[in-house]
Chains A and B, each alone.
Chain A
Amino acid sequence: DIQMTQSPSSLSASVGDRVTITCRASQGISNSLAWFQQKPGKAPKSLIFGSSTLQSGVPSKFSGSGSGTDFTLTISSLQPEDFATYYCQQYDSYPFTFGPGTKVDI
C-alpha cells in the first residue's frame, strides 16, 4: 500500500493568514492526489482532485500543487469557516489511502 504522511499534524493560525499543508506519498503517484476538508461531526468535503483542480463550488482561496511524491494545499487567506481538519488521499493505486490529517485551529 502507498503510505501518505502530512505535515504538520496540527497548526494554529489566525484569520487572514496564509496556510500551507504538505502531503507526501511513499512512492510516486503522478498527480493522483485529492484534498478533503472535514469539520467536527460533519462529512468530509471534497476540495481538490488531480493535485490542483478545484471541485465545483470550492473557492479559489484554496489551491493545490505537486506531482510525484510531494504535494501542498494552500489556503490564501484563512477565514473562520476554514478551521477544520484537512486530509490528502492518493488514488493512483489500490487501495486508495488517506493521510492522517492536519488540524487547523485558532
Chain B
Amino acid sequence: QVQLQESGPGLVKPSETLSLTCSGSGGFISNSHWTWIRQPPGKGLEWIGYINYSGNTNYNPSLKGRVTISEDTSKNQISLKLSSVTAADTAVYYCGRGGGPIPHLWGQGALVTVSS
C-alpha cells in the first residue's frame, strides 16, 4: 500500500522559506490530487492549499500569497513552499492524496518550528 512521507527541515528561521516535500511509492503523482494542511500545536486543522491532477492550484488567501504547491514528476514528489515565515507558521504539516479535493490518504506529518 502506498504510504506518504513528508520531509524537510524541522527548524526554520523567521523571514526564511519553509520547504517540505511529500513522497511516496507506486506511480505516485499521476492522476492524483494533492492537499497540504497544517496544525499548530494544540490547535485545529488549517487548509493550506491544493493541486489537482492537471497541475491547477488553489491556496488559502489567509497565507497572503506566501505559499506555492508544485509537483516534480522527475522526482515523484509534491512540494510545499511557504515564504517569509513567522512563529505563527509553527505547526505540523500534512500532505494528503486523493482522487478529488478530499484526500483518502495522509502522511504522518512533519513538525516545523519557526525560531531564530
Contact in complex: A46, B94 (CB < 8 Å)? no
Q: Which residue of A lies closest to B50 (CB)?
A: A96
A36 vs B104: C-alpha distance when bound (angstroms):
10
Contact in complex: B45, A46 (CB < 8 Å)? no
Contact of A94 among B58, B96, B107 (CB under 8 A): B58
| Interface size counted on chain A using CB atoms at 8 A | 23
B46 contacts partner chain A, Cβ-Cβ < 8 Å: yes
Contact in complex: A43, B107 (CB < 8 Å)? yes
Contact in complex: B46, A44 (CB < 8 Å)? no
Contact in complex: B44, A46 (CB < 8 Å)? no
Report the interface size class on chain B.
Answer: 20 to 34
Contact in complex: B46, A45 (CB < 8 Å)? no
Contact in complex: B44, A43 (CB < 8 Å)? no
3 interchain residue pairs of minimum CB distance: A95-B60, A43-B106, A49-B102
Spell out A's residues near B (CB within 8 Å): 1, 34, 36, 38, 42-46, 49, 55-56, 87, 89, 91, 94-101
Spell out B's residues near A (CB within 8 Å): 37, 44-47, 50, 58-62, 94, 96, 98, 100-109
- Pick 8 A–B contacts, CB within 8 A, sort by A: A1-B61, A42-B108, A45-B106, A46-B96, A46-B102, A89-B45, A89-B102, A91-B102
